Amino acid sequence: MTKPKKISASLEDYLEAIYLITRKNGEARSKEIMKQLRVSGPSVTEALQVLAEKKMVNYQPYEPITLAPKGKKVAEGVLYRHETLRDFFIEVLGVDRKAAEKGACRMEHVATSNIIERMVKYTDYLKNECKRCGCNKVHCFAEYLQDQKKKSRTSAEEVSDDEL
């Protein structure tokens, strides 16, 4: 076993970006990574050098970048967490797509695997009708939210949305 060293959130982002760009374009170049992550060229180069050191990417100066098996595995893990979180926020919590994406981006690096797995299971569970009662839970929550909205027309106490 080659040590399952943990990688920083930032490096995870680079791997994820390389994964997505490669899937879309066939190959990943610095320029695309810059655009996707909104960082400068030198930041990309530096990250690639570190990731190459860790045997996570195949990197030669001026050449297209590909993921090494180890890096691919990490990228897929991040993406899995991202998608799980996003879908959970949308399908269970009824959050809109944009906010769900944003939340997933922020949490994908810190969500623990047992919580992610529970989210997967919960989403699956909600997709089935509850056997005992036959109700559709997604629908129930949507109705509940509507009711709450009506009720709180009078008591206007909304939490500040400042820094989030």
Binding interface with a copy of itself (CB under 8 A): 4, 6-7, 89, 92-95, 99-100, 102-103, 106-107, 110-119, 121-122, 125, 128, 130, 132-135, 137, 140-141, 143-145, 148, 159-164
DSSP-assigned letters across all residues of 75-105: HHHHHHHHHHHHHHHHHTT---HHHHHHHHH
Q: Which does 54 bind (CB under 5 to 8 A by kind): a copy of itself, DNA, none?
A: none
List the one residue from 23, 25, 41, 147 that touches DNA (CB under 7 A): 41
Nearest-angstrom CA–CA distance, 83 and 90? 10
List the one residue from 25, 46, 113, 147 that touches DNA (CB under 7 A): 46
Least CB distance from residue 126 to DNA, whole Å?
35
Nearest-angstrom CA–CA distance, 93 and 105? 17
* 3-class state of residue 63 by DSSP: coil
User: Which residue type, as a one-letter code, is found at position 121?
Assistant: K
Burial class (CB in 10 A: 0-12, 13-18, 19+), 101: middle
- 59 makes contact with DNA (CB under 7 A): yes
For residue 9 the two structure tokens come to: 């959130």
User: What is the total count of residues that contact DNA (CB under 7 A)?
Assistant: 26
Interacting span for DNA (CB under 7 A) from 33-41, 77-85, 91-99, 138-146:
33-41
Burial class (CB in 10 A: 0-12, 13-18, 19+), 88: buried
List the one residue from 15, 17, 21, 30 that touches DNA (CB under 7 A): 30
Nearer to DNA, 51 or 119 (CB): 51
Least CB distance from residue 33 to DNA, whole Å?
8
